Amino acid sequence: MLTSCSHEITNGCAPTVLQLRSRVTFTLFTVMAPFLPSFRGNIKRFLTDVQLLQYLIVLFGLFNLSLCLYEDQVGKFDWRQNYVGRIKFASFDTVSTAKKIIVATEENVVAALNLKSGQILWRRVFERGYAGRIHALSGISDGDFVTVSGGVPALVRAWDLATGHILHEWPIADQNPDRLDSPFISFSTEGLYSIERIEDVKWHIKDGTLHHILPIYNSGIEVTSYDSKTGEKLNNRFISAPFISEDTDCILAAPYLACLRGDSLAVLFMINLFDTTADVPSPVLTTINTIFGAGAEGPYKLETVLGDEPVVSISTDNGQRKRIIIAGETPVPIERDIIGNTSLYVTSLDKEKILLETTYKNGMTEVAAFELHTSTPRPQLSVALTHSSVQAPTIVASICPRQSKGVTCRHLLSCEDHVIALLQHSKLVWAREEALAKIIAVEIIELPMSEGEQAIETEFDQKESIDVDGSWDVFSMFLRRICSQVNQARALLQTALGREPPQSNQRADLVRDRFGLHKMIVVVTAAGKLFGIETRKGEIIWQLTVPNIRGLTKDSDKMLLYVQRGSRHFPHSPQCALVAADKDTNEGIVYTFNPITGQPLEGLTRLGYKIKQSMLLHAPTEEFLRSIVILDARDRVHVYPECATAVAASVGKSTYLFTADQTAGVLSGFSLAYSTPQNLIAHKVWEVVMSTKNQRITQIVSKNPIERVHSQGRVLGDRSVLYKYINPNLVAVVTQGVGSTHKNTLNLYLLDVISGAMVFSLVHKRARGPVHVVHSENWLVYSYYNEKSRRTEIATLELYEGKTQSNTTVFSSLATTKLPIVERQAFIFPLSIESIRETITEKGITSKHIMVALANGGILELPWMLVDPRRPTNPEMREEGVIPYMPEIPIHMDAIVNYNQSVAKVSGIHTSPSGLESTCLVFVYGLDLFYTRVAPSKTFDVLKEDFDYYLIIIVLAALVISSYVTKKLASQKAQKQAWK
């Protein structure tokens, strides 16, 4: 399957063609060499026929350009890592022979993990967002288990334990007495209750019965039971509980529902929900004083203690201490204070119930075990662990089976930084870095030079050699040279003798390679954890946890990662900065670190103001450090680090910032022109209002700042040039219509963010998101869902200045007033799109491809040529290298770069240039990580891997020898002729 290569559209790249030609001639040489000298005469005709056949084969080969991977190349330049996400529910499988752990996660995933290694045995990914959120996971019984997920209607699914196959599925949607009376019932609105109340609904699965528990304010609790396999409704009970209101805090400790009401004189109610013996189950009241004694202060917080027994905990004194209550006919409060931040779990050993208290302090995790009822310590079950990857854990599942050797407890830990770890006998069996399932920001950074090259670099250090003061400097330089050469010689000797070179703090393989293909991926995750992943094998080199941070805005996890200094400025170390917000105060923070080693540089800096906008200043300081310009919520400008203020002020005239306020629909532009070297001043130069009555800004897409455009224009069929409108300051603003009249409209504005000039605007009627936009060079590709035709479409815009260029050397947003010519076209895209990004190369000579992450798990490499808006609909209007228009974009299976390595729930694609002009590095992230490299115009600057070096050496040698021989022969002949 992998080796099948099919027709790939030839692109107009000259080097590709050249390379092909050479390949063809080589093939001919090798094939025809044995034929030529021997066959003559009567079989000559046959020979020509054979030759003709060969030419035809070669011709077919010419069109059959291979882009795809061969089977032996699988995994050679790509890797994939699978994740499940942060644990929500977990359960040990004690039934089947192959021991495993079933987990349900916040990323809407149900998976089985190998108990011994932590590897994923199988994984099922649910719907995105609310529709796939998992509400309950049942215990494991005879080879299957049940999950409840989704909103309205909720879906109940039964799964096969061994394979992860779905056994049954049924929706809970039929019971809605009020709605059934209503004449307007649609599938989407059908349900039990409004979306706001959905969080109150509780689910409980026990012994093959699913209980749906709905507290109704000031009235009672409705418990509906279903058979979890068939979906058959078993019974419907209503339990009177008039004390439940909006401010009652209710939790489920099955079979009890515990509700805490009131603040100062709080009362805890407990109702047995499934007790069928009593006709009217009555709640049992416990006052807060009976739990804590007198003197406890609110607010109180009620929590379920996970595990095998119905136990709840109440914390008091601002979460300083808490106590537990064992639910039962009469609730039993345990009169023992537990430290507030302890996480609790109840496990069972034989018939005994054991309370596990997990505390984390100074890097040490302690699990203390107590008998639940009597609070007797059980030191043989208590464990302590110090491990760098376990930070502030909670036990999410635990089993203590009695074996011949004694009791072995296994605890599954879920840590604050989303790590999943299995603890056995105070030993960490495995740990999984699940923070990588939710990546927020990515940068790909070049690796530093090797130590040998660094030594040479120091030898010719610029600063020292410029110094021309005094003649002794020459001697010092000479000395330095001698020293470094002696060192080099020693290193050479050592390697020749097979002795180990002295250990250095840098890993030997983490150095820049010749083609710049080996790089470091720096990722920021939603958990506030940073990772450095090398690209060759996907190995995690370093990790850093930045405590107590969150996304910059309230409703998104957006954090920004800036590369302040790359690895090219030896001896200065590379520097990255993370810009985020503090979790408690919401004020901005900047965290600087070395992206290669993962060492914090200046650590966490609290800014003391809220960040509205930030950007990397284009002008570096003397130490090649690019500073970050930050605009705070009160429109004041700051620079990080502060010493770079003068540098920022010096380029203030040409520095602009823009902000977008989604709630007000206002985009504003600021100029730093009035800045002084001591103080930066921003003043507003333009403001644009997208009236929130009609539309809501959903996306703002700018161009990649490192992008280079190689070609200024496009040659038309009549040999004239159409110049591209290449405005680096152009930004695409996508808004979606709101309200009834404009609900299904999609607006796209192209805005110059320096001058505030609108360049183009466009509206799609009856279209909706998700919208994915790629903005590059002079074109824009975006996908949306067409409601009218019910399909995903891709539209492209291309901007041209016209037949003349306004300024041939430099583009100025302020001087250009002429609006560009906009070419546009739309195509049908037959699959659903998750994310989209363009390839990028160092010089921009290579043609652009668009990487499209598909909902089916594939990553499609789509040549831009296929979405070229100038594809002619009329076959007579043909241009060079432009394919005639076809409404549907064909999906070639060999353009799927991740072949069978499907990736789920892709949230973004990051592309980065490599040292080779032909090659672009692609990193796809989401639930899974996938890394590969693509060559949009084929690898025109590298020889093929299977290039026949011996053949070319033999051919060359033969040519050289034969030329000498013939020269000799020719001179002899000439001599003979002269004698005649």
The nearer residue to other proteins, 621 or 662, going by C-beta atoms, is 662
The rounded distance, in Å, linking the Cα atoms of 979 and 140 is 105
* Complex with other proteins: residue 233 or 791, whichever CB lies closer: 791
Question: Taking CB under 8 A as the rule, does residue 955 contact other proteins?
Answer: no
* Sequence-ordered alpha helix ranges (H) in 770-872: none
* 797 in Cβ contact with 869 (< 8 Å): yes
Instruction: Judge contact between 768 and 744, C-beta under 8 A.
Output: yes
CA 480 to chain centre: 47
Q: Nearest approach, Cβ of 824 to other proteins (angstroms)?
A: 4
Q: Which residue number, 395 or 733, has a Cβ lying nearer to other proteins? A: 733
* Binding span for other proteins by CB under 8 A among 267-275, 287-295, 640-648, 818-826: 818-826
Euclidean distance between CA atoms 391 and 345, whole angstroms: 17
Closer residue to other proteins in complex, CB, 205/750: 750
Q: Is 677 in the site for other proteins (CB under 8 A)?
A: no
Closest among 347, 401, 394, 386 to 369, alpha carbons compared: 347
Least separation in angstroms between residue 762's CB and other proteins is: 5
CA atoms within 13 A on the CB side of 704: 23
The reply to whether 962 sits near other proteins by the rule CB under 8 A is: no
- The nearest distance, CB 740 to other proteins, in angstroms, is 12
- Contacting residue, 214, 604, 828, 891, with other proteins by CB under 8 A: 828
**Residue ranges in 408-427 that form contacts with other proteins under rule CB under 8 A:** none
Residue 47: CB minimum distance to other proteins, A: 11
d(CA 193, CA 805): 62
Q: Which helix (H) or strand (E) holds 971?
A: helix 949-979
Closest approach of other proteins to the CB of residue 951, in Å = 17
CB half-sphere exposure, 533, CA atoms < 13 A:
26
Q: State the minimum distance, in angstroms, from the CB of residue 878 to other proteins.
A: 10
Applying CB under 8 A, among 677, 769, 830, 887 the residue interacting with other proteins is 887
* Nearest to other proteins of 464, 687 (CB atom): 687
String marking each residue 841-880 x if it binds other proteins according to CB under 8 A: ----------------------------x---x-------
User: In this complex, which beta carbon is closest to other proteins, that of residue 32 or of residue 943?
Assistant: 32
Kindly state the helix (H) or strand (E) to which residue 603 belongs, with its residue range.
Answer: strand 600-606
Please give the angle made by the CA atoms of 662, 550 and 444, to the nearest 5 degrees: 90
* 695 makes contact with other proteins (CB under 8 A): yes
Residues 149, 286, 668, 736: which binds other proteins (CB under 8 A)? Answer: 668
Q: How far apart are CA 338 and CA 771, in angstroms?
A: 50
Q: Which is nearer to other proteins, 56 or 643 (CB)?
A: 56
Closest CB 680 distance from other proteins, rounded Å: 11
Q: What residues numbered 225-264 form the site for other proteins, per CB under 8 A?
A: none
Instruction: Closer to other proteins by CB, 559 or 862: give it.
Output: 862
| Nearest CB to other proteins, comparing residues 212 and 870 | 870
Q: Establish if 47 lies at the interface with other proteins (CB under 8 A).
A: no
* Residue among 228, 252, 236 nearest 304 (CA): 252
Shortest Cβ 788–other proteins spacing (Å): 9
Interaction between residue 959 and other proteins (CB under 8 A): no
> How far out from the chain centre does Cα 759 lie?
32
Binding mask 725-764 for other proteins (x = CB under 8 A): ----------------xx--xxxxx-x---xxxx-xxxxx
Select 604 or 681, whichever has its Cβ closest to other proteins: 681
Pick between residue 735 and residue 776 the one whose CB is nearest to other proteins.
735
Under a CB-based contact definition with an 8 Å cutoff, are residues 568 and 447 in contact? no
**Shortest distance (Å) from residue 65 CB to other proteins:** 17
Residue 931 C-beta: closest distance to other proteins, Å: 34
Position 196, amino acid: E
Is 767 near other proteins (CB under 8 A)? Answer: yes
CB of 659 to other proteins, least distance (A): 13
Pair 133, 110: CB distance under 8 Å = no
Which string of x and - marks every residue 782-801 that binds other proteins (by CB under 8 A)?
----x------x-xx-----
CA 195 to chain centroid, in Å, comes to 29
CB closer to other proteins out of 407 and 685: 685
Q: Applying CB under 8 A, which part among 132-140, 342-350, 586-594, 822-830 lies near other proteins? A: 822-830
In angstroms, what is the minimal distance from the CB of 767 to other proteins?
Answer: 7
Residue 814 found at the interface with other proteins (CB under 8 A): yes
Q: Assess contact for 702 and 775: CB atoms under 8 A.
A: yes
Among 314, 688, 781, 840, binds other proteins (CB under 8 A): 688
By CB under 8 A, is residue 604 in contact with other proteins? no
Cα–Cα distance measured from residue 309 to residue 255, given in angstroms and rounded to the nearest whole number: 9
Q: Measuring CA to CA, which residue among 714, 666, 704 is closest to residue 686?
A: 666
Q: Is residue 653 involved in binding other proteins (CB under 8 A)?
A: yes
Q: Which residues contact 830 (CB under 8 A, 6 or more apart)?
A: 791, 792, 888, 889, 891
Over the Cα atoms of the chain, what is R_g? 34
| Contact call for residue 99 and other proteins (CB under 8 A) | no
**Looking at 7, 683, 708, 944, which residue binds other proteins (CB under 8 A)?**
683
Total residues contacting other proteins by CB under 8 A comes to 65
Q: How far is the CB of 684 from other proteins (least distance, A)?
A: 6
For residue 825, state whether it binds other proteins (rule: CB under 8 A).
yes
> CB of residue 789 vs other proteins: minimum separation in angstroms?
8
Q: How far is the CB of 911 from other proteins (least distance, A)?
A: 26
**Start-to-end CA span in the chain (Å):** 70
Cα–Cα distance for residue pair 475/483, rounded to 1 Å: 12
Residue for token pair 């090649």: 624
Structure tokens that stand for 265 in this block: 């004189």
To which residue do tokens 């066959």 refer?
39
Selected range binding other proteins among 85-93, 355-363, 642-650, 884-892, rule: CB under 8 A: 884-892
Peptide bond connecting 255 to the previous residue in cis, omega within 30 degrees of 0: yes
Token readout for 569 is 């400025």
CB of 827 to other proteins, least distance (A): 6
**Residues with Cβ < 8 Å from 354, sequence gap 6 or more?**
346, 347, 348, 369, 370, 371, 372, 378, 381, 400
Torsion of CA 487, 492, 497, 499, to 10 degrees: 60
From residue 352, alpha-carbon distances to 371, 396, 471 in Å are 7, 19, 87
User: How far apart, in whole angstroms, are the C-alpha atoms of residue 564 and residue 724?
Assistant: 31
Nearer Cβ to other proteins (92/686)? 686
Q: Which strand (E) or helix (H) includes residue 783?
A: strand 779-786
Report how far apart, in Å, the C-alpha atoms of 533 and of each of 444, 522, 931 are.
9, 6, 11
* Cβ neighbours of residue 799 closer than 8 Å, sequence gap 6 or more: 724, 725, 727, 730, 750, 759, 760, 778, 779, 780, 820, 821, 822, 823
**Nearest to other proteins of 414, 671 (CB atom):** 671
| Angle, vertex CA 215, rays to CA 197 and CA 344, nearest 5 | 95
Q: Which is nearer to other proteins, 452 or 770 (CB)?
A: 770
- Residue 210 or 795: the one with the smaller Cβ distance to other proteins is 795
Q: In the complex, which residues of this chain contact other proteins (CB under 8 A)?
A: 28, 32, 36, 51-52, 55-56, 59, 653, 668, 671, 673-674, 681-691, 693-695, 741-742, 745-749, 751, 755-758, 760-765, 767, 786, 793, 795-796, 814-815, 817, 822, 824-828, 869, 873, 885-888
